Amino acid sequence: MDPAARLGFAQIDVLAQLAVSTVLLGGIYALIAVGLTLIFGIMRVVNFAHGEFLMLGMYLAFFAFTMRNLDPYLVLLAAIPIFFGVGLIVYVLIMKGVIHASHNVQIFTTVGLSTALQNVALVLWSGDFQVFRPWESSVVLRVAGTAFNLSQVIAFAVAVALTVALIAFMKWTHTGRVMRATAQDRDAATLMGIDTDRVYRLTFAIGIACVGAAGVLVSPLYAAYPQAGLQFVTLAYVVVVLGGLGDMAGAMLGSLIVAAVEVGGSYVFGAAWKEVFYFLLFIGVLVFRPAGIFGQRGAETLGT
Amino acid sequence: MSRLAPDRWAAIVLFGAAAVTPLFVRDTFILDSVILILLWGALSAAWNVAGGYAGQVSLGHAAFFGIGAYAAALMSARYGRSPWLGLGVGVLLSIGAGAMIGYLSNRLKGPYFALSTIAFAEVLKIVASRWRGFTAGSEGVPVPFRPGFWTLGLGHVAWLYLILVLALGCYALQIYLERSRIGYQLAGVREDEDAAEALGIATRRRKVQAIVVSAALTSASGSLWAQYVGFVDPTHVFSIDLSVRFALNAIIGGIGTALGPFLGSVLITSLETYLRATFSGIKAGFTGIYLIIYGVVLILIVRFAPEGLTGIASRLRARRIRAHA
């Protein structure tokens, strides 16, 4: 599915193309991973259902396009508040009750949510691959011996803009500071008068809004199907662990590394084997540097 | 003579009922249901050895199941040898893989460990579906049916007793873990690893042992499953759904109890069989419906009854005893 393989190598400069593909792919991965890492960093919960919200975002864009002929980038404007709302509802109904529970309870709650959502999609929309092509996907841009389509460029630009906006929000706004304080020390934050329940609610909603937006952005590039979230979310785990769980800047760098492994691996060994490389990378990182490439030592045992 | 605890009685009733079923029923649908209940129960019991008794919650046990399924299927389909030989090879491979994952579990805790086990199963899934020359790729491997015990071409009644032996073996192992020294040591590791280590328990070795035993049993069950069902498909045998299912039965029935996995399997497998019979017309829709129920039940159980059905039962009993006193 990567653009390098689709276009053929005869007419383009291979290395430049691989580099551009890496960056474009990395930007999208970053938006998926940043929500996951935010939820983990602040709530200390690994959201195993993260990919399912991406899948829902893809279906939203697909149906908006096929039934109302709406451009996916227009849908994006509605998708962010919609998924923010979905995040709030899921938090209140499901996550709120397990936020102080043991790891096992949290793991199986989100796993259960993932199974349920995947199969709701299967029942409602069948297991068929749903593809659509807005006009942007047919526009090929050629710059300095590289070629890519407009959908990829827009997806990359919007994803990076949203990721950077989120990082800025966390760094410079009062709410962002409150969220970071909660991440550092839940009890101390409560003693300072911070309403941690409100922080978790907001965190989960923002995380889901990010991944829902990412779903809309990738929908012109990848087929939507009930398990579509799985391929992206396993990759997002890799990104998040590489960057250090909870570290948003780390997630951006991790995304680039994973994208590079994917693009390079599929160029050298063929697209069929590309997933093997980032899973091996994942296991390698877990074994040798479980706190991430520049994470603190011992972070992997946090909250146990 | 000491009196048997109620959950032991329940186990005797459950396994006894399974054992006498073929004496009264010849209907293949019912025999098939009983076989699957026992098989999924055995698999969940195998998961329970690591996930329940030792607290090493894996979401990648499908890896061992798949290794076992492929080893047996390839041994009989590709090499024309006995699937029992394949079962043995699968168990050996799974012991190796289990030791590797066990080593990971010594470094990683909670969600990190669960993530690494998922990654492990995913790698095997990709290898099995892409390595066409050896595994036949994503087309899967059909298992040839050759009648006889050595080739595992058995009738339903023979299968039922074979799987019953497997289930009883898994149950007995769990009982052993509830009353042996090594079982108490595992409980110590699960509840407080630092304290266990301070008491001189070789926590690392115990964790690896629990995972290796669990992996070997899962693999053997996978081999038998492949021979019983007759087809091995890489996207199914290595799927996360399968790994979740092993855990699900144990959690619903009661995680870390001997009866729990089998109780959970009775409920979940019967539900699946019932829905399959009812909705067999709408194929995709049916699979979805029972998996939606799985997901919702999983969320509700871990939230409101984390000790599962056996936990609820013993709570009710304790209340009744108090009311009488």
pLDDT above 90: residue B146: no
Interface test with A, best of B44, B130, B300, B303 (most A CBs within 10 A): B303
- Joined together, the tokens standing for residue B65 give 């199941």
What is the distance between the alpha carbons of residues A90 and A56, in angstroms, rounded to a whole number?
A: 14
Q: Assess if residue A300 is contained within a domain.
A: no
Mean pLDDT of B154-182: 90
Closest by CA to B10, choosing from B212, B191, B259, is: B259
Q: Assess if residue A302 is contained within a domain.
A: no
Q: Which pLDDT score is estimated for B285?
A: 59
pLDDT above 70: residue B318: yes
Residue corresponding to tokens 């979310």 = A233
Tens digit of pLDDT for each residue in A260-291? 888 888 888 777 777 788 778 877 877 777 66
pLDDT above 50: residue A9: no
The CATH number linked to A66 is 1.10.3470
What is the distance between the alpha carbons of residues A189 and A121, in angstroms, rounded to a whole number?
A: 39
Q: Assess if residue A299 is contained within a domain.
A: no
Mean pLDDT of B132-158: 79
* Interchain CB distance below 8 Å, B294 and A123: no
Q: Which pLDDT score is estimated for A295?
A: 60
Q: Which pLDDT score is estimated for B171?
A: 93
Instruction: Count CA within 13 A, CB hemisphere, residue A151.
Output: 19
Q: Which pLDDT score is estimated for B91?
A: 94
What's the domain range around A85?
Answer: 3-293
Instruction: Count CA within 13 A, CB hemisphere, residue B77.
Output: 20
A 73-102 near B (Cβ less than 8 A): 94, 97-98, 101
Instruction: Give the model's confidence band at A12: pLDDT under 50 very low, under 70 low, under 90 confident, else very high.
Output: low
Task: Give the contacts of B194 (CB within 8 A, at least 6 positions apart).
Answer: none
Residue B147, φ and ψ in degrees, nearest 5: -60, 145
Tens digit of pLDDT for each residue in B256-269? 888 999 999 998 88
Q: What percent of chain A has pLDDT over 90?
A: 21
Q: Which amino acid is at B214?
A: S
* Interchain CB distance below 8 Å, A107 and B110: yes
Cβ pair A219, A136 in contact under 8 A: no
pLDDT above 70: residue A134: yes
The lowest-confidence range among A157-161, B24-28, B151-155, B306-310 is B151-155
The CA-atom distances, in angstroms, between B38 and each of A289, B150, B152 are 41, 21, 18
* Interchain CB distance below 8 Å, A279 and B288: no
* Interchain CB distance below 8 Å, B110 and A304: yes
Nearest CA in chain A to B292: A116
pLDDT above 70: residue A301: no
Nearest CA-CA distance, residue B53 and chain A, Å: 13
Q: Which amino acid is at B9?
A: W
Tens digit of pLDDT for each residue in A197-255? 899 999 999 999 999 999 998 888 888 888 888 878 888 888 888 887 777 888 888 88
* Interchain CB distance below 8 Å, A283 and B123: yes
pLDDT above 50: residue A297: no
Cβ pair A197, A83 in contact under 8 A: no
Mean pLDDT of chain A: 83
Q: Which pLDDT score is estimated for A300?
A: 45
pLDDT above 60: residue A8: no
The SS3 of residue A29 is: helix
Mean pLDDT of B182-197: 86
What is the distance between the alpha carbons of residues B170 and A128, in angstroms, rounded to a whole number?
A: 39
What is the distance between the alpha carbons of residues B252 and B244, in angstroms, rounded to a whole number?
A: 12
pLDDT above 50: residue B1: no
Q: Assess if residue A143 is contained within a domain.
A: yes
Cβ pair B295, A117 in contact under 8 A: yes
Q: How far apart are the first and last CA of chain B?
A: 24
Instruction: Give the model's confidence band at A13: pLDDT under 50 very low, under 70 low, under 90 confident, else very high.
Output: confident
Nearest CA in chain B to A47: B111
Of A116, A241, A290, the CB nearest to B296: A116
Q: Which pLDDT score is estimated for B106?
A: 77
Q: What percent of chain B has pLDDT over 70?
A: 96
Nearest CA-CA distance, residue A139 and chain B, Å: 33
* Interchain CB distance below 8 Å, B115 and A117: no
Q: Which pLDDT score is estimated for A25?
A: 85
Q: Which pLDDT score is estimated for B284?
A: 53
Buried b (16+ CB within 10 A) or exposed e, A220-238: bbbebbbbbbbebbbbbbb
Q: Assess if residue A251 is contained within a domain.
A: yes
Q: Which pLDDT score is estimated for A45?
A: 86
Residue corresponding to tokens 């209907």 = B27
pLDDT above 90: residue A28: no
Nearest CA in chain A to B127: A276
Q: Does B142 touch chain A (CB under 8 A)?
A: no
User: What is the number of domains present in chain A?
Assistant: 1
* Interchain CB distance below 8 Å, B302 and A108: yes
The lowest-confidence range among A53-67, B18-32, B210-224 is B18-32
- ipTM greater than 0.85, yes or no? no
What is the distance between the alpha carbons of residues B124 and A37, in angstroms, rounded to a whole number?
A: 26
What is the distance between the alpha carbons of residues A205 and B196, in angstroms, rounded to a whole number?
A: 40
- Joined together, the tokens standing for residue A111 give 């796993």
Q: Which pLDDT score is estimated for A296?
A: 52
Q: Does A135 touch chain B (CB under 8 A)?
A: no
Mean pLDDT of chain B: 86
pTM given for the model:
0.86
pLDDT above 70: residue A145: no
Tens digit of pLDDT for each residue in B118-142? 888 988 988 888 887 787 777 788 8
Q: Which pLDDT score is estimated for A302?
A: 43
Q: Assess if residue A27 is contained within a domain.
A: yes
The SS3 of residue B322 is: helix
Q: Which pLDDT score is estimated for B281?
A: 58
* Interchain CB distance below 8 Å, A286 and B288: no
* Interchain CB distance below 8 Å, B104 and A103: no
pLDDT above 90: residue A80: yes
* B69 vs A252, more confident: B69
